Each structure stands twice: as C-alpha cells, then as structure tokens.
Amino acid sequence: MKTIIQFVLCILVLGLAACNNSSTTAQKQATTPEVKTAEKSTKPEKSTVMPAAKTNVAPQPKPNKKGYNIGDVVADFTLKNIDGNMVSLADYKDEKGVILIFTCNHCPYAVMYEDRINDLHNTFAAKGYPVLAINPNDPEVQPQDDMPNMKKRAAEKGFKFAYIFDDKQEIFPKFGATRTPEVYLLQNEGGAMKVTYSGAIDDNHKDAKAVNVKYVENAIEAVTNGSNPDPNFTKAIGCTIKVKKG
C-alpha cells in the first residue's frame, strides 16, 4: 500500500513539473514578439532629406563704388585732344556708344595694349563704337605723359582716335578709374551714355595671341544683341594712375 501511494505522488510531482515547464515556455513565446517589436520601434528612421548641392561658382568681383557703376549715366566733359581741338563726350551723340579707355604713354601695360586698342577702334568705329582715349596722369609725376609725348606716341602708333588729356585730373575720379589701361564701355541710350562694362580689355595683357576672353569685344556683342554683358565688370590690370602730389 505504501508503495502505491509513493508511486502516485511521483506521478503527481512529474505532472506539475511538466505543467510549469509548459507555462514558462508559453510565457516566453508570448513575450518575445513584443520585445522585438519594441526594439524595432526604437530604431531611428533613415532621413529622406537630400543634402544641399555643392556649387563651384566663383564669386564675381564687385565694381568700384567710388565712381560710375554699371547702368550709371556719364556726365558730359570736355578735354583737349592731341591735335589742339577740344573734344567732348557729347560729340559722340550720334554713335551707338564709346569705348572709353584711360591709358598713357609710359606704362608698360598700356604699351602692351596699344596695338589692341588700335584694333578695337579699327574694328568697331565703323560699327558705332569708336575708341576715346584719355591720359589721366600728372606729367609732373611722370614727365613721359605730357602732351608733347602724347602727340609723339600717337604718331608713332598711328592712333586714329581722339587721345585727350585730363590735365586737371577731374575726369578719371568721376569714373573711379585707378589703372592704365582701364576701359569703360558706354552705351548710347537716347542721348545718355551709360556704363555697360568696365575693367580690362581682355584676360591676357602679356600676349595678345594667348587671349582666351575678349571682355570688351564680348560686351559690345552683347549690347548689340540687346543683352547685358557677362561679365559686366572685371579687374583692370595696369599701372596706377599718377596723381599730382600735394
């Protein structure tokens, strides 16, 4: 009898152990998906915002704010030419515009550009854009830039354009010019001469044959086609204008 009771008790113990194991397994199976779901929900979502595009656009140079800027109307002026006659900007009222260039006799940069200035006049004067050259230098500072030497240099190079002398140095500061050579392309709009381009003649002062960009010629082509020059401003490369001392 005692043996039978022990056998029954063993069966009951084994049954309870099996139930507990089944309950524990069921609990683990029931909780595992919840844990995984919670873990998935805590992962950060990938951003769908595209990064800003990078650009390699070089900043454009700013015009000289001390003088005339692009779009400004140039006031009339009158200066003496190498032939002894007085020349005014108003004398060009029937032209489409003027290639106004501050230049001189002595500056090596100006000398390197003399033939190209001649070519500009010879090419574009017939198209309504003659060259008007102005010597802004004080001959007391640089004797080579006096009127007799202007006449001599013009004869040597065969200038066919007016070469006038800013003897009182009143005109170049109004333009804001600082170098020789320095160009201001003026466009005639109803009798008003407006600045449409200023700066260098081209991108290679050393060698005309190595020029890649002809700034003045491109600017004339642009305004002739009814568009704005691009660029409309470049940095003039040359000698500093020689200002009267004191």
Residues in the chain: 246
Q: Is residue 94 part of a domain?
A: yes
Question: How would DSSP label each residue in 3-63?
Answer: HHHHHHHHHHHHHHHHHHHHHHHHHHHHHHHHHHHHHHHHSPPPP-PPPPPP--PPPPPPP
Binned at pLDDT 50, 70 and 90, residue 65 comes out as: low
Say which CATH number the domain at 200 has.
3.40.30.10
Q: Is residue 58 part of a domain?
A: no
Burial annotation 40-67 (CB, 10 A radius, 16+ → b, else e): eeeeeeeeeeeeeeeeeeeeeeebbeeb
Higher pLDDT, 56 or 177: 177
Q: Is residue 151 part of a domain?
A: yes
Angle subtended at Cα 82 by Cα 66 and Cα 133, rounded to the nearest 5 degrees: 35
Q: Is residue 91 part of a domain?
A: yes
Q: Is residue 106 part of a domain?
A: yes
pLDDT in tens, 131-180: 999 999 999 999 999 999 999 999 999 999 999 999 999 999 999 999 99
Binned at pLDDT 50, 70 and 90, residue 66 comes out as: confident
Q: Is residue 69 part of a domain?
A: no
Give the best-scoring range by mean pLDDT among 47-51, 65-69, 198-202.
198-202
Separation of alpha carbons 4 and 239, rounded Å: 125
Q: Is residue 182 part of a domain?
A: yes
pLDDT in tens, 84-97: 999 999 999 999 99
Domain of residue 132, residue span: 78-240
Look at the alpha carbons of 71, 72, 73, 76 in this order and tell me if their dihedral is positive or negative.
Answer: negative
Angle subtended at Cα 131 by Cα 126 and Cα 134, rounded to the nearest 5 degrees: 165
Question: In 3D, which of 166, 118, 162 has the Cα closest to residue 146?
Answer: 166
Average of per-residue pLDDT values in the chain: 83
pLDDT of residue 245: 86
Number of domains in the chain: 1
Cβ pair 142, 107 in contact under 8 A: no
* Burial grade of 22 (CB within 10 A; 0-12, 13-18, 19 or more): exposed
Q: Is residue 171 part of a domain?
A: yes
pLDDT of residue 63: 54
